[in-house]
Amino acid sequence: MDRREKALDVDRRLARAFGSRLPRDRRDMTDELIHGVLSQNTSRNNYDLAYRRLRERFPSVEEIAAAPVMDVEKAIRPGGMSRQKSVAIKAILAEIHRERGGYSLDFLEGSSVGEAREFLTSLPGVGPKTASVVLMFAGGRKVLPVDTHVLRTTKRIGLIGDRTTAGKAQEELEELIPPAKRPRMHLNLVYLGREICRARGPRHEVCPLRPICGYCRDPGGRDRQ
């Protein structure tokens, strides 16, 4: 089976096991970008709480942009690294305003995925993963963001090489997965990585990919425990 066939097989098996997950309701793109910054290096509960508190304190993006950085930091404290994240959020908003004269990213809807990625990754501290998350969840684009779960699971399964970087992985996986299947594949791989193919103690015995996964068999073809 070549890598493209294997990728499609992975998608089918995951969809059969976990269902055809769809992205949650779309957020505004600038809100999604702020949410992306808050999600770095912390758990989902923490960053969801930080995001809720930020929006309770500052209902509009304009208010976040106008607020002293210390007030933003205080609002997002439950998310961890609040100093760095508050500075990053303020810098991103300042740059969007400098470039566009406002805070809306709606203009990206008229851009190609490549152009939109280029603009987003030109913002301070915004990498390929955050850009793709914004485009998929808020922009409704058919991309495949590569977070820590997607990177680890696709290496183990054997869809990408062991040393592939996240940026390169995104390119390679988007080559393998047709656009219409990318959001579902992303969501199912994240679920797989969180619940089954964990960084430590992967649960091979309950994994729907066990029959085709390279990692759970040693070179002699025996199952790993």
Smallest distance, ligand SF4 to C-beta of residue 187, A: 16
Q: Is 61 in the site for ligand SF4 (CB under 6 A)?
A: no
Among 157, 160, 169, 187, binds ligand SF4 (CB under 6 A): 157
Token output for 150: 């997607």
Smallest distance, ligand SF4 to C-beta of residue 211, A: 9
Q: Is 93 in the site for ligand SF4 (CB under 6 A)?
A: no
Is 129 a catalytic site residue? yes
Instruction: Convert residues 187-206 into a mask of x (bound to ligand SF4 by CB under 6 A) and - (unbound).
Output: ---------xx----xxx--
Q: Is 145 in the site for ligand SF4 (CB under 6 A)?
A: no
Cα–Cα distances in Å, from 176 out to 5, 9, 170? 8, 11, 10
Of residues 218, 179, 182, 132, the one with CA closest to residue 22 = 182
Q: Is 216 in the site for ligand SF4 (CB under 6 A)?
A: yes
**Residues facing residue 217 across a β-bridge:** 223
Smallest distance, ligand SF4 to C-beta of residue 195, A: 10
Q: Is 215 in the site for ligand SF4 (CB under 6 A)?
A: yes
| CB atoms inside a 10 Å sphere around CB 23 | 14
The size of the interface with ligand SF4 (CB under 6 A), counted in residues, is 14
Among 171, 210, 223, 225, binds ligand SF4 (CB under 6 A): 210
Which window, 44-52, 82-90, 169-177, 209-217, contacts ligand SF4 (CB under 6 A)?
209-217
Q: Is 185 in the site for ligand SF4 (CB under 6 A)?
A: no
Cα–Cα distance for residue pair 131/110, rounded to 1 Å: 16
**Angle ∠(85,89,91) on CA atoms, nearest 5:** 115
65 and 102 in contact (C-beta within 8 Å)?
no
Of residues 55, 56, 58, 36, the one with CA closest to residue 47 = 36
Name the helix (H) or strand (E) containing 6.
helix 3-18
Which window, 35-43, 141-149, 153-161, 168-176, contacts ligand SF4 (CB under 6 A)?
153-161
Cα–Cα distance for residue pair 178/167, rounded to 1 Å: 18
> CA torsion 209→217→202→182, rounded to 10°?
-30
Q: Is 176 in the site for ligand SF4 (CB under 6 A)?
A: no
Annotated catalytic residue within 6, 85, 90, 129: 129
- Which amino acid appears at position 2 of this protein? D
Give the footprint of ligand SF4 on this chain (CB under 6 A). 153, 156-157, 196-197, 202-204, 207, 209-210, 213, 215-216
